[in-house]
Structure 1
Amino acid sequence: MLSVFLRYAAVGVANTALHWAVFFLFFSLGGLPQSWSNFLAFIGAATFSFFINARFTFKAASTRRRYLLFVGFMALMSYAFGYVGDVLEGPAVVVLALFSGFSLVVGFLYSRFVVFR
């Protein structure tokens, strides 16, 4: 399981860079609140992550059901983190860092034991 986690983490590095870049485009340049910026950035990054992880990390078929399971759950989590950031008026970088850590651990466990079981 360690090698699977390491592959997941490697994909996560690229996924996180994509997520952060898109977030700051929507938040800084687009003027959207953290909740929507985080949600939209997550959708793009999660789509990338889902297909790469399906093929290379879990060596499983990338079905519509699996995609919806993964993206649906994690999108709600991304929106929730952004919403809390909006309510608390916390720095965007803190929201992103907390969500990135959360999605690494919870996203892996959810993917391994629910989505790609």
Structure 2
Amino acid sequence: MRILWKGFPAQTAIGLAATLVHWQIFFVLSSAVQLDQSASNFAAFCIAASFSFYMNALYTFETRTSVVAYLMFMSVMGVLSYGVGVFADSRNLPGLVTVSGFSLMNLLLGYCFFRFVLCRERQP
């Protein structure tokens, strides 16, 4: 059980910082630029996830990842961020619901993706 939570506190701290970046960019794009929630959420995710990916790969899991792994992470989570925005747009949900819901999903799924797919320890 202990190995399951390895790196979780550091990843959570980095995730919270990335979440603040995500929320700020989302609200600027959706309010000031008047983009719809799907585009705002996707753009904000891409910027925040780049920060999060770099910091987690460098400090949390201390492994090197490839460009292919980075693109796989961005693709999977990017589709999810856009999908959450499309759902929110179709239901006329407030932006706060969009970023809150996606942030929770991103914390859980992002950790699992990093831990078990991208940065899993190699078997000798």
Question: Separation in 2 of the partners of 1:83 and 1:89?
Answer: 10
Shift of 1:60: 1.1
Question: Separation in 2 of the partners of 1:10 and 1:90?
Answer: 28
The correspondence of residues 11-90 of structure 1 with structure 2, limited to 5 A, is 11-90=14-93
> Which runs of no fewer than 5 residues in structure 1 stay unpaired?
none
Question: Separation in 1 of the partners of 2:65 and 2:34?
Answer: 34
Question: Separation in 1 of the partners of 2:86 and 2:62?
Answer: 34
Q: Which has the larger radius of gyration?
A: 2
Shift of 1:3: 4.3
- For the residue of structure 1 that corresponds to 2:73, the secondary structure is helix
Question: Separation in 2 of the partners of 1:29 and 1:112?
Answer: 36
Aligned length: 117
Moved more, 96-105 or 57-66: 57-66
Do residues 103 (structure 1) and 96 (structure 2) align?
no
Counterpart residue type for residue 99 of structure 1? F
Judging by fraction of residues, say which structure has more helix: 1
Question: Separation in 2 of the partners of 1:3 and 1:107?
Answer: 14
Question: Separation in 2 of the partners of 1:60 and 1:13?
Answer: 21
Shift of 1:63: 2.0
List structure 1 segments (4+ residues) > 4 angstroms apart after TM superposition: none
TM-score of the two chains, using structure 1 as the length reference: 0.96
TM-score of the two chains, using structure 2 as the length reference: 0.91
Percent identity (aligned): 38
